[in-house]
Amino acid sequence: GGVRADSVHVALAQALESDDRVLLAQCLDVTNQRVIETTVARLPPRTVPALLRKVVAKFQLRPARSVTLVAWIRALLTQHTALLMSQPDLVKSLTPLYQLVEARVSTYHKLLKL
């Protein structure tokens, strides 16, 4: 199984447009930073906000997977900043991510004080 590195963007766009959760999960299992960045750069712009929402939702549900998902979130936010900033409802979608990151940073600082 799995998705070939050179075609992750095609599979990912297909997964988003058909709401295929299994295919989406296979795509998001990719951990190679270069493949993630290339994939995100090649995505059709119409799929970017939906992907960000889905990745953030997965991040919230399974924080243990956060290392892999953070790579996807970082690539989406850095490569599609202008597009994402033009989405007024996106701030609502990112609020839980911000809160989760803030909680982790706060916990980390408390641990450092021990």
CA distance 114 to 34: 37
Non-local CB neighbours of 21 within 8 Å, separated by 6+ positions: 15
d(CA 101, CA 99) in angstroms, rounded, equals 5
- Say what the pLDDT of residue 37 is: 94
Q: What confidence score (pLDDT) does residue 55 get?
A: 92
H/E run at residue 14: helix 8-18
Please tell me the predicted confidence (pLDDT) of residue 51. Answer: 94
Q: Point out the residues of the chain with pLDDT beneath 70.
A: 1-2, 65, 108
pTM of the model: 0.78
Cβ within 8 Å of residue 39, ≥6 positions away:
8, 9, 12, 27, 30, 75
